[in-house]
Structure 1
Amino acid sequence: MEIDKGTIQGHNMTVVETDGHYVEPFVVKNLFIYSGETYSVLIKADQDPSRNYWASSKVVSRNSTTPNGLAILNYYLNHPKRTPPTVPPTGPLWNDVEARVNQSVNIKARQGYILPPPQTSNRVIVMLNTQNTINGHVHWSINNHAFNENSLSYGYDFANYDIYSVANNTNATSSDFIYRLKFNSTVDIILQYANTMTKNNSETHPWHLHGHDFWVMGYGTDKFNMSTDPKKYNLVNPIMKNTVAVQPYEWTALRFRADNPGVWAFHCHIEPHFYMGMGLAFEEGIDKVGRLPSSIMGWGETKSLPP
């Protein structure tokens, strides 16, 4: 499932929280939920009490034939299984990217509950998401690397990469893909989506970071411009999350503090895509972890490194 869209027939939903952090309340009829995300919503039971109402979920972002998930919002004293008298809501079109983007860009942090982000970062990492063939198998790759625990090599040119074309990516490889981060440094991640191996096709993916929450600094269309796009970042009230979506042919920027000693996964939260290579790991403050069993220390080739 790419994205779940939730609707409660006849009722608005007021969103007040996501991924454990308060947001400025906002009202929606349809709530887009990406795999790995959580939301808290309030509804007011102010409709006709003589009937029940449909609650519906729908797969969007892919042209799926999966039928909508249905539940019943029960108004007491109606029987909880009494079928609503109207047809269930159909929801938005599966390929309505604009509606999904609008929800993301309009979420702001609840004032007084979330500290603003550091105004600058110590490191910027641009991650180009592509689809590749490696040894005859389809993989998802980050900067031409599909995640596994093999040898590490590099090779891609983001500046000259055409995100709208099916690229050869003949230098794609697989690796354990470790980023070593300076402990307590502030890191910016730019997630950029390109064309898949299918012509005129790009996808939506939710990215999840273990061991941290991050500020969502901004979103943008087309290819990220290092000179101009950071000037558009929200440095006042960006929401904090642990899972964030990237839309087709677009970019998402996030910022976090590398202040949690260990090795942490960062990956697409659609499990088959992680298995196919859409992931990597951050290593930070390993010297602070303590004297733990060597069998649980490190990730991939880091197991063989000295303390």
Structure 2
Amino acid sequence: MAGFVFLLMCAIILIGCGAHARVVEHTFNVGNLKVRKLCHSRVITAVNKKLPGPTIKAHEGDTVVVHVVNDSPHNITIHWHGIFQQLTAWADGPNFITQCPIVPGNSYTYRFNITGQEGTLWWHAHASFLRATVYGAIIIRPRAGTKAYPFPKPHKEFPIILGEWWNADVVEVENEALQSGGLPNNSDAFTINGRPGDLIRCSNKHTYKIEVVEGETYLLRIVNAALNNQLFFKVAGHTLNVVAVDASYTAPYTTDIVVIAPGQTVDALMVANAPSARYYMAASAYISSPNVTFDNTTTTGIVHYKSTALTSAPPVKPMMPAFNDTPAAHKFYTSLTSPVRLGSPAVPLHIDEHMFITFGLGLAPCSAGQPKCQGMAASANMNNVSFVFPTKMSLLEAHLKGANGVYTKDFPDRPPTVFDYTNTSINTDPTLASLPFAEKGTKVKKLKYNSTVEVVLQNTAILTIENHPIHLHGFNFYVLAQGFGNYDSSTAVKSYNLVHPLVRNTVSVPTGGWAVIRFKADNPGVWIMHCHLDVHLPLGLAMAFEVENGPTLSSTLPPPPPDFPRC
């Protein structure tokens, strides 16, 4: 019976897309690749011997089939960041959440349909720090034969994938940090499409370049694939017109600067209307946490006007913001909205579940698995629960089988202690000495199918304040409001945008502040919500939602495919 259900669901996925739908098929060979950057040669993990890896190009309604063959020495999973995975939760990819890893020498085929999404998403490894080099773009165009973009058709499109580069082996970088109980070393450079740019040593030949024709319009599909840094992005001499984020259209917003957190995407139109010349596109770090060291390099690419003769003159440089320009970042994030809809708002107004989730960094006593740790180790938590990843079975498989001992269903709706969340002097209060220490556990929040959930995400300043990008798997959500300080419902509710709020899958919660999101739990399965600064994920800055099946076959999660990885 299980086999029949699986075949039936495969048929639904493959033929349920309607006219003009197709199957987009790829093979991802994950293996070692020797590269030389920043005067160093090293071996990285890459897909199909490329950095970035292959771009998946599809139309809304298409089915994507990706055969992942793991020829690397590491366990691997691939996450299709932002794809809803309706009834295909087994293909979502986070390690030990929806699947066990693909061990070296093995393979797994991811199958999923793209429904109700247009724009730019991306894929990346979801195991260890491997997504530093295992990533690529997903470009979703409107359904074939039905409609065009809701903006002028661009002359050409360019994926702009912002990355982060270490001269050291990234797996060793993470392991060293975990064993010592500290934070990992900073990266050595940022990259645009895998290239640091000619402002970085030994990188004159490693600069991404695009050629433009004067007067034409270009669509930049910008992805932040960096592990641990939000980034400012600019093109000297040009403005950008943002038309989509996270594969959801926005009301057009004109700006000379884009701010983009790890996990987020921004689609922006650029008109080539500057004087004929060469111009730098550039990205540099936005750092919201005070008194920390960071990668202060600037990665560059070059926009070359076709009518400009090749010259030795350097490209025009953009004026980048200060690394800690939080007002600029907040202005960008809060200026984005969805297009105005006619009639009733799309936002569900009845709320079934109210949650208030505090999150941030804390401390934990060194464990036996941290031989280089002295006294205390860095930790992180949500509602005073530091998330522990399973090791024997994925949460999704345990959910399907009703297995005991893998997780509990008691993730709290509110933090156990009410305090002055964003007061940076909080540690001077002896009555709150236990705040930095959170219990460790694998706890989920159970949700009824089709229930509406509102979550207040409240930053804490127990160790430091920071702007955290929070990503929810399996869903988009409405960003209703965001602000600084402690969330106060009596005043915050007045600022809620219930008419045309931004739709995202990753929200950048302001440093020392809060954000309110709302979503409908219409996708059965187990879905992780976590900080997309990878440094914080193994420390426990995560939780998961367990969404029940609905009343029909079309709202019931089918069993895993036959080649599902086993632990």
Shorter-chain-normalised TM-score: which range? Answer: 0.7 to 0.9
Distance 1:75 1:85, change over 3 A: same
Residue from 262, 287, 290 that aligns with 2:558: 290
Other structure's SS at 1:101 match: helix
1:184 corresponds, among 429, 450, 468, to: 450
The equivalent position to 1:212 in structure 2, one of 467, 475, 478, is 475
Q: How many residues align?
A: 292
Cα RMSD after superposing both structures: 2.6
For residues 157 and 210 of structure 1, the distance between their equivalents in structure 2, rounded to whole angstroms, comes to 25
The corresponding residue for 1:106 is 335
Q: Does 1:94 align with 2:323?
A: yes
**What CA distance in whole angstroms lies between the structure 2 residues aligned with 1:29 and 1:174?**
44
- Structure 1 residues 113-148: Cα deviation after superposition (integer angstroms, max 9, x where no partner): 996201231111111113221223211111111110
Return closer, same or farther for 1:170/1:295 CA change in 2, 3 Å cut-off. farther
Matched, 1:54 2:280: yes
Question: Once the 2 structures are TM-superposed, how far is the Cα of residue 231 of structure 1 from its aligned partner?
Answer: 3.0
Gaps of 5+ in 2: 1-227, 367-376, 391-406, 551-555
Partner of 1:273, secondary structure, is coil
- Does structure 1 residue 221 correspond to structure 2 residue 484? yes
Structure 2 equivalent of residue 144 of structure 1: 384
Residue 501 of structure 2 aligns to a residue whose secondary structure is coil
**Distance verdict in 2 for CA 1:295–1:76, change over 3 Å:** closer
* 1:78 positional shift: 3.4
Alpha-carbon distance between aligned partners in 1 of 2:500 and 2:528, rounded to the nearest angstrom: 26
Q: Deviations over 1:264-305 (max 9, x none)?
A: 0110111121111111110002472234479979xxxxxxxx
Deviates more, 1:70-79 or 1:25-34: 70-79
Whole-angstrom CA distance in 2 between matches of 1:156 and 1:40: 36
Cα 1:246/1:170, change in 2 over 3 Å: closer
| Partner Cα distance (1:252, 1:162) in 2 | 14
Is 1:54–1:72's contact at 8 Å kept on the other side of the alignment?
yes
1:28 is matched with 255
- Picking from 17, 25, 36, the partner of 2:244 is 17
Do structure 1's residue 247 and structure 2's residue 510 form an aligned pair? yes
Q: Please state how far the C-alpha of 1:40 moved relative to its aligned partner.
A: 0.7
Per-residue CA deviations over 1:12-36 (Å, capped at 9, x if unaligned) read: 0010110111111111111001100
Q: Hey, what's the Cα distance between the residues in 1 that align with 2:353 and 2:484?
A: 22
Q: Does 1:73 align with 2:303?
A: yes
Q: Does the CA contact (< 8 Å) of 1:146 and 1:279 recur in 2?
A: yes
CA contact (8 A) 2:361 2:436 kept: no
Deviation at 1:45, TM superposition (A): 0.7
Question: Taking structure 1 as reference, are residues 146 and 295 closer, same or farther at Cα in structure 2, changes over 3 Å only?
Answer: farther
The AA in structure 1 aligned to 2:502 is I
Moved more, 207-216 or 151-160: 151-160
Q: Per the alignment, do residues 77 and 296 of structure 1 end up closer, same or farther by CA in structure 2, a change over 3 Å counting?
A: same
Check conservation: 2:421, 2:459, Cα contact below 8 A: no
Which has the higher mean CA deviation after the structures are superposed, 62-71 or 158-167?
158-167
How far is 1:48 from its partner? 1.4
Partner deviation per Cα, 1:85-107 (whole Å, 9 max, x = no partner): 45522411111111111111111
Q: Choose the corresponding residue for 1:125, options 355, 368, 385.
A: 355
Q: Give 3-state SS (helix, strand or coil) of 1:105's partner.
A: helix
Match of 2:212 in 1: none
What's the CA shift for 1:112?
A: 3.8
What percent of counterpart residues are identical? 26
Please list the CA deviations of residues 35-65 of structure 1 after superposition, one character each: whole Å capped at 9, or x if unmatched.
001111111111111x211111011125534
**Amino acid paired to 1:69:** T
1:74 alignment partner, SS class:
strand
Deviates more, 1:167-176 or 1:268-277: 167-176
State the match for 2:523 in structure 1.
260
Matches of 1:190 and 1:238, distance apart in 2: 15
Structure 1 residues 261 and 83, CA, compared in 2 at 3 Å: closer, same or farther?
farther
SS in structure 2 at match of 1:271: coil
Q: 1:240 to 1:79 in 2, by over 3 A?
A: same
> 1:84/1:45 Cα in 2 relative to 1: closer, same or farther (>3 Å)?
farther
RCO higher in 1 or 2 (8 Å CA, sep ≥ 6)?
1
- For the Cα contact (< 8 Å) 1:130–1:143, is it kept in 2? no
Matched to 2:305, the amino acid is Y
Q: Distance in 1 between matches of 2:324 and 2:294?
A: 11
Letter in 2 for 1:91: M
Rg larger in 1 or in 2? 2
8 Å CA contact 1:72–1:83 kept in 2: the answer is no
What's the TM-score once normalised by structure 1's chain length?
Answer: 0.86
CA distance in 2: counterparts of 1:295 and 1:147, whole angstroms: 28
The aligned residue for residue 230 of structure 1 is 493
